[in-house]
């Protein structure tokens, strides 16, 4: 799981993080000017990019969620993409803000038995890549149209042509 799932989702987060910085260059300037934002930037990239669209689970007990009854044994789908844009959880969820705090995104799960096994490694990898890029790249810009992976499970990019300087 750590090698395959962690590799794919971290790669997706890095590529889509670069795309976010192409689209919001002021946030890149902010990160370069203030390296203390690396931790919050890492979490905001995970929230914003949401490498996994959803996960299916089985309810182990009956409950009511958002006014809907869920019976024990029912199959449920957790839409991470929706949860990471939930207005009840995030102020201005449609804004990419590398200083967002708190940032209780769902990209790794929220704990318990379904917390992503590679959460610490993924955060570290993303943080290390961001730190290296802030020292070497003044600006990113799109050099063509990004192409998305055709997948209903992962939220990835097939190609991301960029210019760096």
Task: Compute φ and ψ for 40, nearest 5 degrees.
Answer: -70, -35
| pLDDT at residue 5, as a whole number | 63
pLDDT-derived band at 1, boundaries 50, 70, 90 = low
> pLDDT digits over 94-139, tens only?
999 999 999 999 888 777 776 777 778 888 999 999 999 999 999 9
Q: Using an 8 Å Cβ cutoff, are 23 and 96 in contact?
A: yes
pTM over 0.85: yes
Q: Using an 8 Å Cβ cutoff, are 58 and 76 in contact?
A: yes
> pLDDT digits over 10-65, tens only?
899 999 999 999 999 999 999 999 999 999 999 999 999 998 889 898 999 999 99
């Amino acid at each position: 799981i750590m090698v395959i799932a962690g590799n794919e989702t971290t790669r997706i987060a890095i590529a889509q993080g670069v795309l976010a910085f192409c689209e919001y260059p002021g946030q890149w300037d902010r990160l370069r000017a203030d390296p203390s934002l690396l931790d919050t930037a890492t979490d905001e990239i995970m929230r914003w990019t949401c490498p996994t669209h959803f996960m299916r689970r089985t309810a182990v007990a009956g409950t009511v969620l958002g006014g809907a009854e869920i019976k024990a044994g029912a199959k449920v789908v957790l839409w991470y993409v929706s949860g990471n844009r939930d207005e009840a959880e995030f102020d201005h969820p449609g804004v990419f803000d590398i200083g967002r705090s708190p940032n209780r995104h769902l990209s790794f799960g929220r704990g318990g038995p379904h917390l992503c096994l590679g959460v610490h490694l993924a955060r570290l990898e993303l943080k290390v890549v961001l730190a290296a890029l802030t020292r070497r790249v003044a600006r990113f810009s799109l050099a063509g149209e990004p192409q998305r992976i055709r997948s209903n499970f992962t939220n990835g990019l097939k190609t991301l042509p960029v210019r760096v300087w």
